[in-house]
Amino acid sequence: MQTADLRVALFSGNYNYVRDGANQALNRLVGYLLSRGAAVRVYSPTVEVPAFPPTGDLFGVPALAIPGRKEYRIPISLPRSARRDLAAFGPNVVHVSSPDVTGHRAVTWARDRNLPILASVHTRFETYFRYYNLAWIEPAIEALMRRFYRRCDALVAPSESMAQLLRDQRMNYDIGIWSRGVDRTVFHPERRSLEWRRQLGLGDQDMVVGFLGRLVMEKGLDVFSDTIDELRRRDIPHKVLVVGDGPARGWFEARLPDAGFTGLQVGAELGRAVASMDVLFNPSVTETFGNVTLEAMACGLPVVAAAATGSESLVDDHASGRLVRPGAVHQFAEALKAYVEDPALRARHGAAGEVRAREFSWDRINQAVADTYLRLIRQRRGPGG
């Protein structure tokens, strides 16, 4: 059996209605599978005006807007129409990418038909509740996730650090790596533009601390802004550039009134924005991989990040950036201070990060998922299958 023989039913909580790293990875995977002759059918909530066109065939499933985060939706069922569509499509493997109600129903549907199930882990859902004064519910959420993932045949995680965490949490015993790639035509040091910086009021000699990502509290916006306050208290010269948008933008702008906010950037404009920073500061602990960390490294930037799943599998501490204990504002400020005061260190660590980023090829990474599908199908069929 080969990749072209695959018929993949993919279930996603957000395939294309909001742009984020997880759904862009899923769309790239589907594009790769289709290019290799596989058949793919995607089941996900849909909206009238999605963030970008879907890759492949998309079948809409019912969903409700999340209270307080209406841009995101929770799939709530696998209706009869979707089941009929599944039966007509005839998958030989099922891929679930979020532990929601529809994901649970899809797993049950697949198990009833003796189909192999792969789950991909894209974010640390259990940690989100910390940012909404609901940390007490985290053990219960983790238990629910464990029940979901143990009903799957295997998991893939974006980084070895995340895979190890899943093993420690006893989510499953078959956990592989589905890493992330970076588009070197978009993210490259040559994308840096002093002219673009000047248009934003940034001087050629200003040391620019950058934030990249969706502006939501679970990305560590509080730690980022507290660290910038600490730099200011110490009279450490710097400027702040925020690239991204989201529901917490108003809060972030109020906390950082002197920062430059570009809003959402995509494609070549995003590459230019990242390369025009001098250091990326990523204090988030919710990433399973750290797409923004890899993109910054590809642009030749040193990265100051939380020593958490994702970034700690990418950043070589004291070689291509700094890994700091999550939430440790003073240590984050010290790491940024070193890059402000030592341009040679900044250049050396940025160059090392770019070399590391060259290892991440999308085709090789996505073929690893296809190979996992094929392995699970062979295992389900048994000897000689």
Inform me whether the pLDDT recorded for 140 exceeds 90.
no
The average pLDDT across 39-61 equals 95
- Chain segment 291-324, per-residue pLDDT in tens: 899 999 999 999 999 998 778 889 999 999 999 9
Q: What's the confidence (pLDDT) of residue 129?
A: 46
Inform me whether the pLDDT recorded for 232 exceeds 90.
yes
Distance CA 64, CA 336 (A): 41
Domains of the chain: 3-181+361-381 (3.40.50.2000), 189-357 (3.40.50.2000)
- Position 72 confidence tier, pLDDT thresholds 50, 70, 90: confident
- Work out the percent of the chain whose per-residue pLDDT is above 90: 75
Contact 148, 120 (CB under 8 A): no
- Position 126 confidence tier, pLDDT thresholds 50, 70, 90: very low
Q: What angle do CA 208, 210, 214 make, to 5 degrees?
A: 160
Kindly report the pTM of this predicted structure: 0.72
| Listed residue (61, 153, 172, 155) closest to 115, CA to CA | 153
Q: What's the confidence (pLDDT) of residue 320?
A: 96
Mean of the per-residue pLDDT values of the chain: 91
Torsion angle, CA of 372/92/95/159, rounded to 10 degrees? 0
- Chain segment 148-169, per-residue pLDDT in tens: 999 999 999 988 888 888 999 9
Inform me whether the pLDDT recorded for 205 exceeds 60.
yes
Distance CA 155, CA 172 (A): 7
Contact 309, 177 (CB under 8 A): no
The average pLDDT across 102-109 equals 96
The average pLDDT across 209-213 equals 96
- Work out the percent of the chain whose per-residue pLDDT is above 70: 95
Inform me whether the pLDDT recorded for 124 exceeds 50.
yes
